[in-house]
Structure formats: structure tokens, C-alpha cells
Amino acid sequence: MRRYGPSFCLPSGAVRRRWPYLRACISFAVGAIVFCATFVAAAQQAGQAAAPTAGPEFAGSEMCATCHEEVAKGFAENPHVKMAQMHGANGVTCENCHGPGKEHAESADPSKIFNPSKATAKEVDAKCLSCHRVDHANFQHSGHGDANVSCIGCHSIHDGEDRQQQLKVAQPALCYQCHTDVKPQFSMPFHHRVDEGAVSCSDCHDPHGTFGRKGLRASAQQDAVCTKCHSETAGPFVYEHAVVKTEGCTACHFPHGSPNPRLLNRANVNTLCLECHSPSMNFTAGEPMGPTHNQATQYQSCTMCHSDIHGSNVSPVYFNTH
Ligand code: HEC
Ligand code: HEC
Ligand code: HEC
Ligand code: HEC
Ligand code: HEC
Ligand code: HEC
Ligand code: HEC
Ligand code: HEC
Ligand code: HEC
Ligand code: HEC
């Protein structure tokens, strides 16, 4: 109820008819109490409490099972059976997604029932989002939503490898099916151990989209996606290495994999540093200062001395103070 909003127990026809109420209801929902009160009012106004068996156009799941025995048997373990359990086993589980099915059940005519695998991406998304809009509000603006990769591009309701998450294939194989160019990055000498199962694509990306770019899971703080695991780099520090905050972790690291240790995006640490701290650059206000000690000709790693490179509470030049 909390996550799915009031429409989730209704058959789709009823959802559509009551959508104006629900939308009004949702936009007024400044708090749970207001939300519930408004919903109750809306339901009463609609004349009927949310009893999904009300429509004569519904056949009920038991009827579906008489012909689709295999599908119905498999459904016992489906997370979607909760729809029925949560609302007094009202019997329309199948029709919550397939729409009113009485006509089809009587005729066995496949054209009289909504089949998501024959529908357009937008139709499928609308159907699923009628219940899952609250948790996946960004989907329609996500890379996947834009590219018409619908919910069933990744999810399979009736079968598929990952039953709990209802995924066609488990991660990361699911993602590699389409993102073939990303796969080799996780085989590089240094990589986040995604293929090994230690980290998953969806730890960093929300495939349903976010407010951030590239579907990255990040909150207000720019690099929250990385610092939730690497909290020691998060700061705040008395002496910030400004670039960590302004340009983020990917100014120096590849996020997926790299030929270089520490996932650095340059083979040589000094090259990386000197791209911004050029000893020969003309200093202008706001630009990083070059080292007064010219290290370019010496073969010492900058981080040998400037080791707390993500920031320090003690040293303005990030020397190791531990
Ligand atoms: C009297 C038997 C019967 C009943 C009852 C029945 N179906 Fe069907 N259904 C069929 C037949 C036959 C097909 C076509 C099968 C095929 O093409 O393989 C079909 C096909 C479908 C399809 C695929 C349609 C397509 O475009 O290919 C869906 C979805 C479906 N049924 C859902 C349901 C649901 C939901 C219910 C319950 C409301 C239900 N069926 C009740 C016999 C029935
Ligand atoms: C949460 C939504 C949802 C529920 C609930 C649901 N289905 Fe489906 N059904 C789908 C989707 C999506 C497809 C398209 C194929 C796929 O992605 O698995 C589908 C496909 C089908 C098909 C066609 C399979 C094919 O080969 O094309 C049948 C038949 C069917 N469902 C019957 C049922 C029956 C019977 C129930 C109740 C026991 C049910 N469905 C409950 C979403 C649902
Ligand atoms: C009528 C409302 C309704 C519709 C339509 C619906 N769902 Fe669901 N969905 C639910 C409910 C309720 C649950 C169970 C929630 C739980 O376990 O907390 C659920 C669970 C899920 C889960 C598993 C969540 C988990 O954490 O285990 C996935 C994935 C999912 N739905 C995807 C879909 C997709 C894809 C579609 C469209 C084909 C769809 N749903 C259509 C209500 C719905
Ligand atoms: C590009 C692949 C992809 C697409 C497209 C996609 N999903 Fe998912 N979905 C996933 C993966 C992977 C997970 C499990 C990881 C996670 O928690 O995000 C998941 C988890 C879920 C869950 C359960 C966990 C949660 O975050 O609530 C629900 C519900 C769900 N998806 C619904 C949907 C709906 C509805 C759509 C279409 C609007 C959709 N998904 C489209 C890949 C996808
Ligand atoms: C059915 C094919 C398909 C699957 C499966 C798929 N994607 Fe995508 N993905 C796309 C398409 C198409 C785009 C948009 C075009 C592009 O950017 O390549 C996209 C875009 C993206 C983007 C860029 C988003 C943006 O906003 O710029 C990311 C990140 C991404 N996908 C991650 C994932 C992850 C993680 C998974 C697995 C959970 C996954 N994808 C599964 C097809 C898919
Ligand atoms: C450790 C976090 C992390 C993990 C794990 C991760 N990504 Fe990414 N991914 C990122 C970041 C950060 C970017 C953005 C890079 C940039 O453009 O600055 C990105 C970018 C992308 C893009 C867009 C690439 C482009 O050139 O636009 C795709 C597609 C993508 N990731 C897919 C995946 C897939 C598929 C997986 C799992 C196999 C995955 N990612 C795992 C952090 C991660
Ligand atoms: C889900 C947790 C998680 C997230 C999110 C994450 N990482 Fe990691 N990261 C790890 C783990 C675990 C390791 C340990 C190395 C391994 O996989 O063996 C690691 C290793 C690293 C390393 C190499 C450390 C070493 O000692 O060689 C770097 C650099 C790194 N991550 C940067 C990032 C960046 C940048 C991001 C954001 C784009 C990020 N990480 C997001 C879990 C995460
Ligand atoms: C200015 C470039 C730069 C930026 C920006 C940067 N790093 Fe680093 N990071 C490095 C260098 C250089 C090393 C290797 C230090 C060494 O060799 O001792 C490193 C090492 C690491 C390591 C390995 C463990 C360690 O501390 O040595 C992790 C994890 C890491 N960085 C994560 C992050 C995360 C997360 C962010 C973003 C919050 C980030 N880095 C931003 C340059 C950077
Ligand atoms: C993408 C650009 C960039 C990279 C790469 C970079 N830095 Fe910086 N660095 C900055 C900026 C910006 C400042 C802040 C300069 C300021 O406040 O005047 C800074 C400040 C510093 C300072 C403090 C100096 C001062 O004047 O406050 C040191 C020391 C430093 N960086 C060392 C390094 C080292 C060592 C590396 C390589 C591991 C490195 N930086 C990589 C941009 C970068
Ligand atoms: C042998 C130790 C050592 C190495 C290696 C080293 N530095 Fe320094 N660095 C210092 C010292 C000492 C200071 C001055 C600290 C002070 O003034 O308090 C400094 C200061 C700096 C500053 C602050 C601005 C300035 O010029 O005073 C920057 C930027 C800097 N170093 C960058 C680098 C870069 C880039 C490298 C690698 C090319 C590097 N350092 C290698 C010891 C080192």
C-alpha cells in the first residue's frame, strides 16, 4: 500500500476510470494521513469501495486457470500473488495485468485479451506503471524509457531466471545482452568485480532511471554513487582536493575497469596530476597551482608524498598524516 499507492488493488478498467481521482489524490498527498483520507473520500465518491470483482467484465483467476493451467500453477510463487493476498484473495490477479477477460474466457479468442508481448513499449509501461509509478517515477525519462526498452525488455512475469526480481536473465548477463560494449571493461586487469558477483550494475545504476545522468544512483551530493561504498573518500575535509568535489571521481578513475591500478584513467599517476598541475602553466585566479618543485623530470610518484589525495583534515597538500 505504501509503495504502490491506492490503484494497485484495482482492475485496470477501474484504474483508468478512477485515475483522475487518484491523480488528484496523489498530488494532494503531502503526508500519509492526508493521502489515506483523500483516497477513502475518493473511493466513497466513486460509489463503491475498491472491490475489484465488481465489474461483470471480469472472469476471475480461477476461470483463467481452467485453460491456462501451466501458467496458473507457475504463478503460485510469483510476488504478484501478493496482490490477491493483500486484498482478500479477490480473484482477479491475472486480470490486473491482462485486463478484463470475461469475453476472452468465454470465446477463447486470443484477440480479446491484452497480451503485453504483442503491445507497444509505451502500452506495457503504462500498464506496469499503473501500480509501480511510485517507485519508478523516473522511468519514462530514463535512457531505457526513451529508447523504448519497456519493462518486459528486462522483466519476465511468467518465467525468467531471477524469479524474485522477475528478471528474464540475472545481472550482469541481462545488461550485457544489449550493452555488449560494456562487457570487456569488466574484464580489464583492474575492475569492479561485477562478473564475480561482488558488485552489481544496479549498485551504481538504476535501470529505471534517476534524476542524475546515466541513470546513476546519486543523491544531492554529486558522487554519492561512489562514496556509499568508499566512504573514506567522501569528506568533508578541512583541506579538500577541490577537483574531487567539482569534477567527481571520474576525473581520475574509470568507473568500470581500467588497464591501470586503482582504476586510474592514466597509466602514470604523474601524468594524471600534471594535466592539471602543469609546472609551466600560466597561473590565473582559480586555476590549480603548479608544483613549485618540478617533479616532471623526476621519477617519483606524486602520491608518494601527496598520499591523502582525496583530501585531508591536517595537511593542505594532502601528506600522509596517519
Ligand atoms: C476457455 C479457455 C480459456 C480461458 C477460460 C482463458 N483463456 Fe486465455 N487463451 C485461450 C486460448 C485457446 C488462447 C490462445 C492460445 C494460443 O494461441 O496458444 C489464449 C490466449 C491467451 C493469451 C495470449 C493472447 C495472445 O495474444 O496470444 C493471454 C494473455 C490469455 N489467454 C490470458 C487469459 C486470462 C488472463 C484468462 C482469464 C481471464 C484467460 N486467458 C482465460 C483459452 C482460454
Ligand atoms: C504482473 C502482471 C501479470 C500478471 C499478474 C499476469 N500476467 Fe500473464 N503476462 C504478463 C506479461 C508481461 C506477459 C508477456 C510475456 C512475459 O513477459 O512473460 C504475459 C503473458 C501471458 C500469456 C501469454 C504467454 C505467451 O506465450 O505469450 C498468458 C497465457 C498469460 N500471461 C496468462 C496469465 C494468467 C493465467 C495469469 C494469472 C494466473 C497471468 N497471466 C497473470 C503479465 C502478467
Ligand atoms: C495491479 C498492480 C500491479 C501491476 C499492474 C503490476 N504489478 Fe508488479 N507488483 C505489484 C505488487 C503488489 C507486487 C508485490 C510487492 C511486494 O512484494 O512488496 C509487485 C511486485 C513486482 C516485482 C517484484 C518486486 C520485488 O521486490 O520482489 C516486479 C519486478 C514487478 N512487480 C514488475 C512488474 C511489471 C514488469 C509489471 C508489468 C508487466 C507489473 N509489475 C505490473 C503490483 C503490480
Ligand atoms: C533495463 C532493464 C530494466 C527495465 C527496462 C526495467 N527494469 Fe525493473 N528491475 C531491473 C533490475 C536489474 C532490477 C533489480 C535491481 C534493482 O533493484 O534495481 C529491477 C527491479 C524492479 C522492481 C523491484 C525492485 C524495485 O526497485 O522496486 C520492480 C517493482 C520493477 N523493477 C519494476 C519495473 C517496471 C514497472 C518497469 C517498467 C516501467 C521496469 N521495472 C523496467 C531492470 C529493469
Ligand atoms: C533490451 C536491451 C537493454 C537491456 C537488457 C539493458 N539496456 Fe541499458 N540501454 C539500452 C538502450 C537501447 C539504451 C539507450 C541507448 C544507449 O544509451 O545506448 C540504454 C541505456 C543505458 C544507460 C545510459 C542511460 C542514460 O540515461 O544515458 C545505462 C547506464 C544502462 N543502459 C544500463 C543498463 C543496465 C545496468 C542494465 C541491466 C540491469 C541494462 N542497461 C539493460 C538497452 C538495454
Ligand atoms: C562502480 C559503479 C558502476 C558499476 C558497478 C557499473 N557502472 Fe556503468 N557507469 C558508472 C559511471 C560513474 C558511469 C558514467 C561515466 C561517465 O560518463 O562519466 C557509467 C556509465 C555507463 C554507461 C554509459 C556509457 C556511455 O558511454 O555513455 C553504461 C551503458 C553503463 N555504465 C552500463 C553498465 C553496466 C551494463 C554495468 C554492469 C555490467 C555497469 N554499468 C556497472 C558506474 C558504474
Ligand atoms: C557497491 C559498492 C561499490 C560502489 C558503489 C563503488 N565501489 Fe569501488 N570498489 C568496491 C569494492 C568492493 C572494491 C574492492 C576491489 C575489488 O573489487 O576487489 C572497489 C574498488 C575500487 C577501486 C580500486 C581500489 C584499489 O584498492 O585498487 C577504486 C579506485 C574504486 N573502487 C573507485 C570507485 C568509484 C570511482 C566508484 C563510483 C563510480 C565506485 N568505486 C563505486 C565497491 C564499490
Ligand atoms: C584528483 C584525482 C582523483 C580523484 C578526483 C579521485 N581519486 Fe581516488 N585515487 C586517486 C589516486 C591518484 C589514487 C591512488 C593513490 C595511491 O596510489 O596511493 C586513488 C585511489 C583511490 C582508491 C583506492 C584506495 C586508496 O585510497 O588509495 C579508491 C577506493 C578511490 N581512489 C576512490 C575514489 C572515489 C570514490 C573518488 C570520488 C569521491 C575518487 N577516488 C576521486 C586519484 C583521485
Ligand atoms: C582534474 C584536475 C586535477 C587533477 C587531475 C589533479 N588535481 Fe590537484 N588540484 C586541482 C584543483 C582544482 C586544486 C585546487 C587548487 C586551488 O585551490 O588553487 C588542486 C589542489 C591540489 C593540491 C593543493 C595545492 C594547493 O595549492 O592548494 C595538491 C597538493 C594537489 N592538488 C595535488 C595533486 C596530485 C598529487 C594529483 C595527482 C594524483 C592531482 N592533484 C590531480 C585539480 C586537479
Ligand atoms: C618528495 C615529496 C614530493 C613529491 C614526490 C611531490 N611533491 Fe608536491 N609538494 C611537496 C612539498 C614538500 C610541497 C610543499 C608543501 C608546503 O609548501 O607546505 C609540495 C607542494 C605541492 C603543491 C602545492 C603548490 C606548490 O607548488 O607549493 C602541488 C600542487 C604539488 N605539490 C603537486 C605535486 C605533483 C603534481 C607531484 C608529482 C608530479 C608532486 N607534487 C610530487 C612534496 C612532494
Q: 118: Cβ below 6 Å to ligand 1?
A: yes
How far is the centre of ligand 1, averaged over its atoms, from the C-alpha of 120 (Å)?
19
Q: Dihedrals φ, ψ of 167, to 5°?
A: -100, 145
Helices (H), the chain: 12-28, 32-45, 61-67, 69-74, 81-86, 93-98, 102-107, 121-132, 143-146, 151-154, 173-178, 201-204, 224-227, 242-246, 269-276, 302-305
Q: Which ligand is nearest to the CA of 192?
A: 7
pTM: 0.88
pLDDT of residue 51: 36
Distance (angstroms) between ligand 9 centre and the Cα of 224 equals 21
Considering every ligand atom shown, identify the ligand nearest to the alpha carbon of residue 11 and give its number: 3
pLDDT at 293: 65
- Over residues 272-309, the pLDDT tens digits come to 998 888 765 444 444 555 556 665 556 678 898 899 99
Query: What pLDDT is stored for residue 291 in this prediction?
Result: 57
Nearest to 72 by CA among 192, 201, 158: 158
Q: How many CB atoms lie within 10 A of CB 171?
A: 19
Q: Counting Cβ atoms within 10 Å, is residue 272 exposed (0-12), middle (13-18) or buried (19+)?
A: buried
- Compute, in angstroms, the gap from residue 18 CA to the centroid of ligand 2: 24
> b vs e for 217-237, b when ≥16 Cβ sit within 10 Å of the residue's Cβ?
ebeeebbebbbeeeeebbbeb
Ligand 2 within 6 A of CB of 227: no
Distance 319 CA to ligand 8 centre (A): 14
Task: Parse the chain into domains and list their residue ranges.
Answer: 6-118, 121-215, 232-312
| Centre of ligand 3 from the C-alpha of residue 79, in Å | 7
Q: How many residues does the chain have?
A: 322
Give distance in angstroms: CA of 295 to centre of ligand 10: 8
What is the phi-psi region of residue 286: left when phi exceeds 0, alpha when psi lies from -120 to 50, beta otherwise? left
Note the ligand closest to the C-alpha atom of 270: 10
For residue 200, the ligand closest to its alpha carbon is 6
Place of cell 476510470: 17
**Rounded to 5 degrees, what angle do the CA atoms 137, 142, 145 make?**
90
pLDDT tens-digit map of 194-216: 999 999 999 999 999 888 778 88
CA distance 78 to 246: 45
* Residues forming beta bridges with residue 109, ordered by sequence position: none
Ligand 9 centre distance from Cα of residue 293 (Å) = 14
Out of 262, 273, 319, mutate this one to test ligand 8's pocket (max ligand atoms within 8 Å of CB): namely: 262
Please report the atom of ligand 6 found closest to the CA of residue 229. 1
Q: Whose CA is nearest to atom 9 of ligand 5?
A: 144
pLDDT (tens place) for every residue of the chain, 322 residues total = 333 333 333 334 333 444 444 444 444 443 444 333 333 333 333 223 333 444 678 888 889 999 999 998 888 888 888 776 655 445 568 988 999 999 999 999 999 999 999 999 999 999 999 888 888 888 988 999 999 999 999 999 998 888 888 999 999 999 999 999 999 999 999 999 999 999 999 999 999 988 877 888 775 445 688 988 999 998 899 999 999 988 889 999 999 999 999 999 999 998 899 888 876 544 444 455 555 666 555 667 889 889 999 999 999 889 886 6
pLDDT computed for residue 55 by the predictor: 65
Q: Could you tell which of 10, 158, 166 is best to mutate to test the pocket of ligand 2, judged by most ligand atoms within 8 Å of the CB?
A: 158
pLDDT value of residue 213: 79
Three-state SS at 117: helix
Q: Whose CA is nearest to atom 2 of ligand 3?
A: 8
